[in-house]
Structure 1
Amino acid sequence: MNVTVRQLAEWVSGEVLGDPDLSITNARALTEAGPGDITFVETDKNLSAWNASKASAAVVGASVPKSERPLIRVADPLMAFADIVRHLRGHPAEPRGVIHASAHVHPTARLDPGVTVGPFAVIGEGTQLGENTTVGAGTVIGRFCKLGRDNVLHPRVVLYDDCVFGDRVTVHAGAVIGAEGFGYRAAQEGAHIKVPQLGGVEVENDVEIGAGSAIARGTFGPTRIGVGTKIDNLVQIGNNSRIGRHNLLCGQVGIADSCVTGDYTVMAGQVGVADHITIGKQVIIGAKSGVICDVPDGTTVFGSPAGPGNEQLRMLIILKKVPELRNEVKQIKKFLGMGDE
């Protein structure tokens, strides 16, 4: 696809600096772009890479200086460049409102206008799907689920019975929502006794759930995921937990049962949270941290067990000095005639 720099600028409401009639054939990242490509320069830190690049043009922010090559100046270069990529590489939209012949939709299920159901998908008894919701191939939605409008369930997602979604929820391939929580009574007469898991899962508007993630149903009431929360791939959320609004849960986070998080909390990769923990709002938890006690609002913690960031940094500094301190102790003991160990 050949377009001019002027056309690209019109797509993203940007200002052209340089030749507006230069022809562009593709959009590539800064390290991969070549002649005929447009790229993007997000900050001044990328200027040296831009100067070394063979790209023909770039989408830039306000701080990037003029160049001999054409520039498109915008407020947010990353998002503008993403729009350009979609325009240049976009595929025709799939038809909406199509129920594949191989899909099984229970007679009591209600599908609003524009719902699309892919091959071999299953929609259970009494389930309701809101307008323009898409159900991917092989996805299974259980009984009495209720989904709002504009949801997207990618292939092979599983929703157990009684799941409730708001609007614009995206669930990626292989995620399992509403499986029974891991709840057992202590061993009695040599066997663990399973506690019935009779609640569901409630996912509010604008949530994204990554591939292979699992959210367990509550014991009696629902497990809840708050508005705007983004969950990465391979994340586990235990039964009865309540995840706040606009949380970011990165890959391989594991949250045990009955935990609560505040709004705008971030958990980096492989964070583990013990059961019945309350984590405040605007908390940041560093990668691979183990959280075993409550975390107050606005705190940054890391380590295992997780602790305040400044304390953990001091401990790390001290640990690095241990070999040196050990050698000094050995020298002192030798000087005092106490041996070198």
Structure 2
Amino acid sequence: MEIRLDEIAQLVGGTLHGDGTLICNGANPPEESSTSEITMLVGKNASANLARSDALAVICAERIESDRRPQIIVDDPRAAFATVVTKFRPPIPASLPGVGVDSSASIANSAKVHPTATVCAGVSIGERTLVMPNVVIMPGCTIGDDCVLYPGVTLYEYSSLGDRVVLHAGTTIGADGFGYQQRGGRHLPSAQLGYVRIDSDVDVGAGVTIDRGSYGATRIGEGTKIDNQVMIAHNCQIGRHNLICSQVGVAGSCRTGDYVILAGQVGLKDHVTLGDHTIVGAKAGVMDDCQGHQVLLGSPAMPQRDQMQIFAIERKLPEMRRELKALRKRLDAINTQLGEGQLGEGRSDQGRSERAA
């Protein structure tokens, strides 16, 4: 789909500053936008994200004098951007699909789909891909070559798999992210208009959930391996060749570099960034960014050397407690002697003896 910028401005009721004849063919967050897509400016790091973005144009609440690209000014950039996203990627209404392959699906000749699987409208499945029993592939999904979807896998609409992707039993890709806004005392869902993109050579274990992005993609980088029972929230950008062990929880909008390792039961706070070759030890709770090439341990997580010193001190706590109790007893005894005047009398007697000598 291609839409002129002046048509987008009219669609959202905004004021356009710039060339309205430019053609836009998509809408994505700043870090994901191409030179032919429109983006929006919101959030605490919005200006920095926009400066790094290749976006053709931007939707924002006020003029950005330092940015030369076309701008559409609106009162509520989030709502306006959601309107544009739905124009390019219309939400698919929930409906009850039937078992089997929809007539509009494109299935490669060498692909194999079990009779109990559900393949909805507009789905594309590549060569030699295997779709096993009770798999559900919702409308608009694309699956590459040589993929394997084990029993009970669910792909929500617009999910995208590269080549040689393996999804083990019971995994769910593309469910709505856990995002709500409180209005009038009620929790109302925020926009969940994105999708999930899994690049080639990714393995995903059993019982894994990966949520769709708010506007763009939640992405899993090439070659990453994900263990069983992992949760990856909306808008996360997982790098290439990561190893994510069982029961890891990654909160929304986190980013990892390449060759990151998250050991079992690691938790990441939202909007955390981990650089290349970061290793996070088991059960660690990551609250802050890491530049990379570090080992983090503990909760809250900190560099390995610092945390090992803390662990060493903690192991000595029982001994330190015993010593403290002994010192308290000695101090109590001294205070008792002082209260009874014994120490003073002892010093006085000693003084008299020395003078007599």
TM-score calculated relative to the size of structure 1? 0.68
- Aligned match of 2:203: 208
- Aligned match of 2:286: 291
What is the CA RMSD across the aligned residues, in angstroms?
A: 1.5
1:162-220, Cα deviation, whole Å (9 max, x unpaired) = 011110000000000000001111x2222111102000000000000000000000000
For these two proteins, the number of residue pairs brought into alignment is: 238
Mapped pair 1:274 → 2:269: yes
Mapped pair 1:177 → 2:173: yes
Offset of 1:120 from its aligned partner?
A: 1.2
Mapped pair 1:105 → 2:98: no
Opposite residue 132 of structure 1, the aligned amino acid is R
Once the two structures are superposed, the pairs formed by residues 189-204 of structure 1 within 5 Å of their partners are 189-204=184-199
- Aligned match of 1:137: 133
Mapped pair 1:303 → 2:298: yes
Offset of 1:331 from its aligned partner?
A: 1.9
Offset of 1:338 from its aligned partner?
A: 6.4
Q: In the aligned structure 1, how far is the partner of 2:329 from the partner of 2:131?
A: 74
Unaligned runs of 5+ in 2: 1-97, 336-357
- Aligned match of 2:330: 335
Offset of 1:324 from its aligned partner?
A: 1.4
Opposite residue 234 of structure 1, the aligned amino acid is Q
Q: In the aligned structure 2, how far is the partner of 1:178 from the partner of 1:331?
A: 61
Q: In the aligned structure 1, how far is the partner of 2:327 from the partner of 2:134?
A: 71
Mapped pair 1:126 → 2:136: no
Q: In the aligned structure 2, how far is the partner of 1:131 from the partner of 1:226?
A: 21
Q: In the aligned structure 2, how far is the partner of 1:339 from the partner of 1:256?
A: 56
Match of 2:319 among 298, 318, 324: 324
Kept after mapping to 2: 8 A contact 1:123/1:141: yes
- Aligned match of 2:32: none
Opposite residue 332 of structure 1, the aligned amino acid is L
Taking structure 1 as reference, are residues 339 and 253 closer, same or farther at Cα in structure 2, changes over 3 Å only?
Answer: farther
Once the two structures are superposed, the pairs formed by residues 1-341 of structure 1 within 5 Å of their partners are 103-185=99-181, 187-337=182-332
The structure 1 segments of at least 4 consecutive aligned residues displaced by more than 3 Å after TM superposition are none
1:280-338, Cα deviation, whole Å (9 max, x unpaired) = 11011111111111122101011111111111111011011112112222222322226
Opposite residue 205 of structure 1, the aligned amino acid is S
| Secondary structure, counterpart of 2:316 in structure 1 | helix
| Secondary structure, counterpart of 1:327 in structure 2 | helix
TM-score calculated relative to the size of structure 2? 0.65
Opposite residue 320 of structure 1, the aligned amino acid is R
Q: In the aligned structure 1, how far is the partner of 2:332 from the partner of 2:263?
A: 50
Q: In the aligned structure 1, how far is the partner of 2:331 from the partner of 2:172?
A: 66
Q: In the aligned structure 1, how far is the partner of 2:135 from the partner of 2:295?
A: 38
Taking structure 1 as reference, are residues 339 and 141 closer, same or farther at Cα in structure 2, changes over 3 Å only?
Answer: farther
Opposite residue 167 of structure 2, the aligned amino acid is V
Give the structure with the higher percent helix: 2
1:45-95, Cα deviation, whole Å (9 max, x unpaired) = xxxxxxxxxxxxxxxxxxxxxxxxxxxxxxxxxxxxxxxxxxxxxxxxxxx
Opposite residue 209 of structure 1, the aligned amino acid is V
- Aligned match of 2:40: none
Q: Which moved more, 1:187-196 or 1:262-271?
A: 187-196
- Aligned match of 1:7: none
Unaligned runs of 5+ in 1: 1-101
Q: In the aligned structure 1, how far is the partner of 2:120 from the partner of 2:278?
A: 39
Q: In the aligned structure 1, how far is the partner of 2:134 from the partner of 2:321?
A: 61
Larger Cα-atom Rg: 2
Offset of 1:339 from its aligned partner?
A: 8.7
Q: In the aligned structure 1, how far is the partner of 2:320 from the partner of 2:240?
A: 47
Opposite residue 165 of structure 2, the aligned amino acid is V
- Aligned match of 1:48: none
